[in-house]
Structure 1
């Protein structure tokens, strides 16, 4: 089996006294495109930063391209593209100056691609010569994405990459991601709270909860197998539900179970038991069930 590009083992991180990452284990393999989901404050940004060595962890081990992220070589760093949630652009520079600066740092800098992206995303000559500090939030985010894509990275890590983009900007970015980046076989990890965007581009999803990856799998398979099972509590108590993610009961004797792996046996039981209901879940339903 191909070695993982990213590998976290027992990764632990506290912010103050609060555990954010709790002995987390995770692997990302070459060519995977994974959407990272979690509630606000779940630690998605912290996880991505620790995976890239941008934030020091409190315990565990993380490697990227087989190297410890705390001591990544220049060659390994040159294979990574990263778009942070908050802009980290050199705001005293112009867009043209900043891109020229980074072009000197990356051996694989693709100048022709940068020119195409600038033109496609509305960066004409006057805008390229404006100080970055004067750009709007959406313009800064587009520039961050261009910078991350400019050297044709083998690993692209995106932290809420479309949060400041309008619908047209989101559409253009997703098209670029699908038609170019993913088509080339680039490994992509991105967090987002816009589930419809994730469904368009991510074959795999991972849910972060309580500092661990609570559920991961192929999105199509998860949605095909995930079910909401509901009925009288006495009846549900007598049924073994494989892949159970969450169980809630009400005082009036009604129970609801969310499962990630509803099988034929459960469906057959529901056909024999009129009081038992088995319903498919949307990604939003699954997100709520896993992360509550």
Structure 2
């Protein structure tokens, strides 16, 4: 079994007295495509910035390609593509000028891919001669994505990469991600609030809550095992079931959110008066990340 490409151990990060990451442990294997989920303010962007060495840790360690993220070699950095939540382009340049600048930094720059993406994504001669600051938010985000994909990275970090794109732009980006990036075996960590996009491309999901990864697993397996069990209060199990995420008592009924199998649960669901509901990804996201959910 190959070593993790990303290894995070006991990672802590504070902003003043606010704890954002709390002794977080997480690993991402080579070739894994992970959707990172969490509520607004959960720390997803902070986690990705710490992963890339863009923020100093208050505790723990992070390694990429076996190197400490804070002191990555130039060779390791050249293997990473990153699309931040807000495009950080040199907006006084034109697209061609900006891409030429970055081309000199990456030995694996794929000029044919860049030309193909510029053509397919609407960057004609007039657009390529225009200053980036005069482009729309969606156009700037497309350009940021092109820059991140241009050198065929081994690790691609995407922080809300489609937030400024319209539905057509999102579909084109996801097609590119599936047909080229994922097909090539690139490791991808993809943070987005658009859950339908994650269902299309993410083979694994990781839920960030209270500064830690609360749940991680293969997308299909997580959704297959995710259920809401409604039980009369008189039949409530006296112990926490394996895979139980949350339990809420509401009068005469108890609602239990479970993810996985448990021998006691299999017996419980066969009892009269017990109702079982499958959960969608949106349902599971709400239940895992809500206040009071089991840690």
Change (3 A) 1:215 1:93: same
Aligned residue for 2:222, secondary structure, equals helix
Residue 262 of structure 1 and its aligned partner are, at CA, apart by: 3.1
Residue 263 of structure 1 and its aligned partner are, at CA, apart by: 4.2
- Alignment partner, residue 188 of structure 1: 188
User: Among residues 271, 274, 289, which one is paired with 2:272 in the alignment?
Assistant: 274
Paired residue total: 290
- Alignment partner, residue 65 of structure 2: 65
- Alignment partner, residue 165 of structure 2: 165
Whole-angstrom distance in 2 between the partners of 1:217 and 1:259 = 14
- Alignment partner, residue 15 of structure 1: 15
Residue 150 of structure 1 and its aligned partner are, at CA, apart by: 0.1
Aligned residue for 2:269, secondary structure, equals helix
Residue 236 of structure 1 and its aligned partner are, at CA, apart by: 1.5
Structure 2 length normalisation: TM-score?
Answer: 0.96
Matches within 5 A, 1:92-171: 92-171=92-171
Residue 265 of structure 1 and its aligned partner are, at CA, apart by: 5.1
Q: Is the 8 A contact 2:241 2:264 kept in 1?
A: no
Structure 1 length normalisation: TM-score?
Answer: 0.97
Q: Comparing 275-284 with 128-137, which one deviates more in the overlay?
A: 275-284
Unaligned runs of 5+ in 2: 291-295
Whole-angstrom distance in 2 between the partners of 1:208 and 1:259 = 17
Q: Is the 8 A contact 2:243 2:262 kept in 1?
A: no
> Pairwise CA RMSD of aligned residues?
1.1
Runs of 4 or more consecutive aligned structure 1 residues displaced over 6 Å after TM superposition = none
- Alignment partner, residue 31 of structure 1: 31
Whole-angstrom distance in 2 between the partners of 1:263 and 1:165 = 42
